[in-house]
Amino acid sequence: MQYNGVNFDTYLKNYPDRNGYFGKYGGAYIADELKAAMKEITEAYYTICKSAKFISELRAIRRDFQGRPTPISHLERLSNSIGTGVQLYVKREDLNHSGAHKLNHCMGEALLAKYMGKKKVIAETGAGQHGVALATAAAYFGLECDIYMGSVDIKKQAPNVARMKILGANVIEVTEGLQTLKEAVDAAFAAYAREYKDAIYCIGSVLGPHPFPMMVRDFQSVIGIEAREQFLSMTGELPDAVVACVGGGSNAMGLFSGFLNDPVEIYGIEPLGKGPALGDHAASLKYGEEGIMHGFNSIMLKDENGDPAPVYSVASGLDYPSSGPEHAFLHDLGRVKYDVIDDEETIDAFFALSRLEGIIPAIESAHAVAYGIKLAKTMGKGSVLINLSGRGDKDMDYVIEKYGIR
């Protein structure tokens, strides 16, 4: 399929290019001391990802440890409650081991570390979801695991800190600056520059310098590959539309990659939070502009000095001031449509899915559910497949305290 000059038959092979560019987005804008380290990962990945042994080992892990394939569920009661005849379906990444899609790329990254002969994985974490997934992968492979986390986040995210420690990870407190995600990223990169002979850095989404946006997409593409096949065998057709929430954009790229070359509408949903004023949302593709941060060129939200702007969302997994470079590319091409959902619509969807279907979604995923419902109201007929990126256990106390039972 051709779309605005891009051939989607060969898209996944041709994008990114060898230097990590999706059009003008992506690349690797990093300090000199990290260049050698990044080159080592890039070269190893290009070789190892084609090895039959690596592929079959990862496939066995997906099946025997992660519990894949995850099912697709038809949301009959929710669809009936909308009443347009449109049928909603969810891809159940909440049933992936550890409760979200993040383990898909963490198992891939940790397996790559093993093939490269590394002894340790290093990462930062904000809300702790990436840290928990990576700690899970490290425990599975017997790798050391250093997770950098700001002091403020450590206090806020006690259950995830406990999970990481139980899984054997070292949670390293970062006390610089605002003591949150940004400082944790800096500390993790500094540690990686010192330790790269024995360690690899594992990013938490389709972000960062090349090769991470490509590697994480490839590891997450299992979602889209499974979903396409399952949906076809379940309904005999492709969905009319697919929907996923976009923080950094890994669960979305995983699902989208399976449908880019099909006559399927694709929607990426960003958090509008409290509204469109800068600081009240994290809708970088809708309100941002081109810029370089954290090692890559993409569309980002900037403050008056051109630095990453403060962002907010009810979903801590979505509050990032940019999105992966591939999303910026697909946004400009028009192949994927990006839209927003605010906190209130998200909480309504959180309760609707829980009450009508018996599935408590992560607040991140509830953004995609809310958009799926909205879309179904505007369509005359057809089907919408929503990526349910994770389960909502982590969010229940917060939702009840802040919003009560709806």
Ligand X SMILES: *Cc1c(COP(=O)(O)O)cnc(C)c1O
3-class SS of residue 404: coil
User: Is 291 or 361 the residue whose CB approaches ligand X more closely?
Assistant: 361
Q: Indicate if 298 belongs to the active site.
A: no
The 3-class SS string of 209-251 reads CCCHHHHHHHHHCHHHHHHHHHHHHHHCCCCCEEEEECCCCHH
In whole angstroms, the minimum distance from the beta carbon of 47 to ligand X comes to 26
The verdict on 258 binding ligand X (CB under 6 A) reads no
Give every CB contact of residue 63 below 8 A, 6+ residues apart in sequence. Answer: none
When binding is defined by CB under 6 A, the residue of 239, 317, 325, 372 that contacts ligand X is: 317
Q: For ligand X, which residue of 100, 123, 187, 359 counts as binding (CB under 6 A)?
A: 100
Closer CB to ligand X, residue 224 or residue 249? 249
Q: Is 321 in the site for ligand X (CB under 6 A)?
A: no
Which one from 124, 226, 345, 357 is the annotated catalytic residue? Answer: 124
- Cβ–Cβ under 8 Å, residues 90 and 140: no
Q: What is the DSSP string of 30-96?
A: --HHHHHHHHHHHHHHHHHTT-HHHHHHHHHHHHHTS-PSPPEEEEHHHHHHH-SS-EEEEEEGGGS
Nearest one of 140, 183, 20 to 191, comparing CA atoms: 183
- Min. distance of Cβ 106 from ligand X in angstroms? 11
Size of the site for ligand X (CB under 6 A): 19
Listed ranges 10-18, 49-57, 227-235, 247-255: which one lies at the site for ligand X (CB under 6 A): 247-255
The residue within the footprint of ligand X, chosen from 38, 330, 362, 369 (CB under 6 A), is 362
Among the residue ranges 7-15, 83-91, 249-257, 376-384, the one whose residues contact ligand X (CB under 6 A): 249-257
For residue 23, the number of C-alpha atoms closer than 13 Å in the C-beta half-sphere is 17
DSSP state at residue 181: H
249 touching ligand X, by CB under 6 A: yes
CB of 40 to ligand X, least distance (A): 24
In the complex, which residues of this chain contact ligand X (CB under 6 A)?
A: 100, 102, 129, 205, 245-252, 317-318, 362, 364-365, 389-390
Query: What are the residue numbers of the active site?
Result: 102, 124, 389
